[in-house]
A = this chain, B = another copy of it.
Amino acid sequence: MDDITLYCFAQSGNSYKAALMLNLCALPWTPRFVDYFNGETRSEAYRAVNPMGEAPVLEYTADGRRERVSQSGVILDLLAGATGRFGWADEAGRREVLRWLLFDNHKFTSYTATYRWLVAIARNGDPAVLEFLKARMLGAFAIAERQLGTRDWIAGAQPTIADLSMCGYLYFEDEIGIDLGREFPNLKRWLGRIAALPGWKHPYDLMPGQAPARP
């Protein structure tokens, strides 16, 4: 796997999942800035890169061919297979990682990312929508908080791509407006454990783009 390029932008926690994995695995990679805020992901050109219209997208060369992969969970799975890092020991372990990866996509990241988007970036959410999303986000947080009450990592004895997926938006804690240390102390300690892994960086230090301006 050579010449790795990651389509990404700093505000995207989904991009961060892939960027963090690349950094933790010490793989050389080049960011390709996605100009999301000027509508790039809605353009026909971008839809040709990813019909789902999302970041991240990973491009790399293998066996002389240029390959392209989208969906953060697929990129994480691919990189775990290629590096032997942050994966699983057996089939039961693989299923447990997949279970949390799906939970992350279905409820954990999905509500968190959308809520954070509305409160910190768009800042035009209807109060009922914000309340709806926040309640579901907190419900997902509570499930992870409980899971982390009896273990250090989400899906195994060691950190896996499930941890790297689920942490995607949580270093934006101040933008989300939740005091994790007070309300979800297990989550907060788990984020500290991930941040202590060699190669860890905050999303705003890892990808092109910048933090949203303060209101």
Q: Are B110 and A98 in contact (CB under 8 A)?
A: no
Residue-wise, chain A 96-112 has the 8 Å CB interface mask toward B (1 for contact) of: 00110111011101100
Least CB separation from A107: chain B residue: B110
A69 located at the interface, meaning its Cβ lies under 8 Å from any Cβ of chain B in the complex:
yes
Residues in B with CB closer than 8 Å to A109 are: 106
Q: Are A73 and B51 in contact (CB under 8 A)?
A: no
Residue-wise, chain A 49-82 has the 8 Å CB interface mask toward B (1 for contact) of: 0011100000000000000011111100110000
Counting every copy of the chain, the complex holds 2
A178 to chain B, nearest CB (A): 20
Q: Are B71 and A147 in contact (CB under 8 A)?
A: no
A62 to chain B, nearest CB (A): 11
A90 located at the interface, meaning its Cβ lies under 8 Å from any Cβ of chain B in the complex:
no
A95 located at the interface, meaning its Cβ lies under 8 Å from any Cβ of chain B in the complex:
yes
A residues lining the B interface (CB < 8 Å): 51-53, 69-74, 77-78, 95, 98-99, 101-103, 105-107, 109-110, 126, 128-129, 132, 143, 146-147
Sample of 18 A–B contacts (CB below 8 Å): A51-B143, A52-B143, A70-B99, A71-B99, A74-B95, A74-B99, A74-B102, A77-B95, A78-B95, A101-B102, A102-B102, A102-B105, A105-B106, A126-B132, A128-B128, A128-B129, A129-B129, A132-B132
